[in-house]
Amino acid sequence: MLETFMVLIVVVIILSIGIYFFYSSVIGGTKQTAKDICNMKVTDMLTVLTSMPEIQCSFQGATKVGCIDVVKMQAAIKTGILSKRLAKGCKKTITLEQFYPEPSGTESCTETHVMRNDFDNCVNWTLYKPKKLANPYGQIRAMPVSLYYPTLLEHRIGMVKLIVHS
C-alpha cells in the first residue's frame, strides 16, 4: 500500500512538471505571435496614418499622398480624434518631427505655436503616447512625409516615428 502511494506521488510530480513545461512553451509561443502581429500592424499603421482624412493635405477636394497638414493635425490632436484612432493595437508612441529646414528651437509643438505661426521654434508633435509606459524604449519605425503649413503657404520635410514598446 505504501509503495502504491509513493508511485502515485512520483507520477503526479512528473505530470505536474510536464504540464508546467507544456504551458510555458505554449504561452511563450503566444507572446511571440502577438509581437509578430503587432509588428505587422505597425507597418500598416504608418501608411494609413499619412492617408487619414483628418490630417491629410487637400486642395479643392483633391488629396495629396504622403502629405500632412499641420493645422488639421493640431485640431485632430486637440479634439482627441487622433488618439482614439491610434490607440488600437499594441503599445506605441507616435511622433512627427520636422527636420528640414531644421528648426531653431527644441520644444514640442503645441496649439500656441500653430496660433502664432511660430513653427521655427518647435521640433515635434506627439500624435499618440500611451498613458502608462513601463519601458520608454522600443523598436523604431519611421517614414518621411511632407508637412504642409497652410498659414505660411509652404511645405517642409518631416518624419513620422513610431516606437513600438515591448
21 — pLDDT class (breaks 50, 70, 90): confident
Averaged confidence pLDDT in the chain:
83
Average pLDDT of the residues in 25-42: 78
| 34 within some domain | no
Q: So what's the pLDDT on residue 109?
A: 82
Residue 127 belongs to some domain of the structure = yes
**Does 71 fall in a domain?**
yes
* Confidence category of residue 123, pLDDT binned at 50, 70, 90: confident
Q: CB–CB of 151/116 below 8 Å?
A: no
Query: Which domain, by its residues, includes 108?
Result: 45-165
Whether 152 is in a domain gets the answer: yes
Looking at residues 6-28, what average pLDDT do you find? 88
The answer to whether residue 23 is domain-embedded is: no
- Reported pTM: 0.72
Instruction: Report the domain count for the chain.
Output: 1
Separation of alpha carbons 100 and 156, rounded Å: 6
Residue 114 falls inside a structural domain:
yes
For 80-97, write each residue's pLDDT tens digit. Answer: 877 777 777 778 888 889
Q: Are 131 and 159 in contact (CB under 8 A)?
A: no
DSSP string, 69-96: EHHHHHHHHHHTHHHHHHSSSS-EEEEE
